[in-house]
Amino acid sequence: MNIIENFDLFAPRLVDKKEYFCSGHRACQGCGEALAIRLMCKALGPDTIIANGTGCMEVISSFYPTTAWDLPWIHLAFENAAAVGSGVEAGLKALRRKGRIPDRDVKVVAIAGDGGTMDIGIQSLSGAMERGHDMLYVCLDNEAYMNTGIQRSSGTPMGAATTTSPAGKVVPGKQEWKKNVPEIMVAHNVPYVATACHSYPLDFMNKVKKARKVKGPSYIHCLSVCPTGWRSASEETIKLGRLAVETGMFPLYEVEDGKYKITIEVDELRPIEDYLNRQGRFSHLTPDQIENIQDRVYQEYNKLMDKVNGLHSWSDLKYEWGLFE
């Protein structure tokens, strides 16, 4: 098997060489989330302001009196990355209009983890998306509250053992399906929504670049492998992300003006065991339980493919973002 299928061989040379998220940050060995941020920043470039929700990435990057960021960066609290980001956007907009700062396109990007986005932060996220700020929101989803010690979130997949959804004698890990936040964002009529993973860096960076160009809100949901929380080998971070996509556990797609498109095609889904077996958090699952999860994965994948094959783009419908802009 060629492990870099779908990967343009020498393309890494084309990416921005500057590191906006610099060495010296204190993420765990093999942290997928730190890698995702590093790649995201390269795609965004220097004219970017980051609003970060509390979580691993905020903690590991901002030990006063130092910072890992070579971009303007702000953090207030756990659940308000979207709220702070929308304020930054509104502030810049007014100051630019009034000639108090250079008239230059500066993109505001709000980032938070799955807990900060899908659970405690979903209200501020929904509000910001509904208001239509010119802001990209990136959810770095490592499928549990890793910063506080691997507690279950609504992003945790069915069956996964966490410290609050343990694999008990009676209850085998988390008993609920993962919340589909990208779909909730699509329901907000956001012009650009995508899923991504650091294991497909060019796909991820292209999506970030696309989202950066959107005049209005956009959302990227980035699966970020966490070796600590998933109880996987640190060197397998990239591989696990790839397996999540190849098994259909986490399909990579984008929704542009309402039109779904798979960006990483998978000819035939691999069995989910290939993915689950490499992670300690699923090690307690019985074959029956795995089969149950497998059925749901197929079902969700087929639902997605229906949308990919069936929908018009809003641009076909003469949709325009904003009444008077």
Partner 1 sequence: MKKKKWPETWQEMNPGCMVFEPASARSYLTGSWKAQRPVWDDSKCIKCGICYIFCPEGCVSQDEKGFFRADLDYCKGCGICAHECWPGAIEMVEEG
Partner 2 sequence: MAKRVGMEVGIAAAEAVGMCNIDMAAVYPITPQSHIAEHLSEIVADGRIDAEFVTVESEHTSISCVSGASATGARVYTATSSQGLLYMHEILPIVSAMRLPVVMANANRAISGPINIWNDHSDIMPQRDAGWVVFFADNGQEVVDMTIQSFKIAEDDDVMLPVCLNMDGFQLTHTVELIEFPDQKKVDKFLPPRKPFATLHPDNPISMGTLGMPEIYAESRKSQDEALKNSKKTILKVWDEWEKMFGRSYKPVETYLAEDAEILLLTMGSMSETAEIAIDELRKKGLSVGLVKLRLWRPFPFEELKAAVKKAKLLIVTDRAVSFGGSGGPVFIEIKSALYHEKERPLVYNSIIGLGGRDVQVTDFMKIVEDAAKAGEKGIIRDYEFYGVRG
User: What b/e readout covers 219-232, taking b as 16+ CB neighbours within 10 angstroms?
Assistant: bbbbbbbbbbbbbb
Comparison of 34 and 128: residue with beta carbon closer to partner 1: 34
The Cβ of residue 45 has, within 10 Å, a number of other Cβ atoms equal to: 15
Closest CA to 208 of 193, 223, 189: 193
Residue 67 as a binder of partner 1 (CB under 8 A): the answer is yes
For tokens 């909730």, name the residue.
184
Contact between 98 and partner 2 per CB under 8 A: yes
> What is the residue-wise DSSP string for 112-128?
EEHIIIIITTHHHHHHH
Q: How far is the CB of 27 from partner 1 (least distance, A)?
A: 6
Q: Does 306 bind partner 1 (CB under 8 A)?
A: no
Q: Which stretch binds partner 1 (CB under 8 A): 133-141, 206-214, 233-241, 267-275?
A: 233-241
Instruction: Give the interface segment with partner 1, choosing from 56-64, 77-85, 130-138, 273-281 (CB under 8 A).
Output: 56-64
Helix (H) or strand (E) holding 240: helix 237-246
Residue (8 or 306) nearer to partner 1, CB: 8
Task: Give CA–CA dist 24/200, Å, rounded.
Answer: 24
> Using the rule CB under 8 A, which residue among 16, 45, 71, 266 binds partner 1?
71
Is the Cβ of residue 236 or residue 257 nearer to partner 1 in the bound state? 236
17-76: contacts with partner 2 (CB under 8 A): 46-49, 51-52, 58-59, 62-65, 67, 69-76
CB of 19 to partner 1, least distance (A): 4
By CB under 8 A, residue 322 contacts partner 2: no
- Residue 222: partners with Cβ closer than 8 Å, 6 or more residues away: 36, 40, 138, 139, 140, 141, 195, 196, 197, 198, 204
Q: Which residue is listed with tokens 């996964």?
A: 160
Q: Which of 18, 131, 213, 215 binds partner 2 (CB under 8 A)?
A: 131
Could you tell which of partner 1, partner 2, none binds residue 10, using a CB distance below 5 to 8 A set by kind?
partner 1
Instruction: Give yes or no for a contact between 71 and 111, defined as CB atoms under 8 angstroms apart.
Output: no
Q: What Rg value do the Cα atoms of the chain yield, rounded?
A: 19
Q: How far is the CB of 34 from partner 1 (least distance, A)?
A: 4
Identify the H or E element spanning 258.
Answer: none
What are the b/e assignments for 153-169, b being 16+ CB within 10 Å? bbbbbbbbbbeebebee
Task: Give 109 or 150: the residue with its C-beta nearer to partner 2.
Answer: 109
**Closest approach of partner 1 to the CB of residue 3, in Å:** 5
Contact residues for partner 2 (CB under 8 A)? 46-49, 51-52, 58-59, 62-65, 67, 69-77, 79-80, 83-95, 97-98, 100-102, 106, 123-124, 126-128, 130-131
Contact residues for partner 1 (CB under 8 A)? 2-4, 7, 9-10, 12-13, 15, 19, 21-32, 34-35, 38-39, 61-71, 198, 201, 227, 233-239
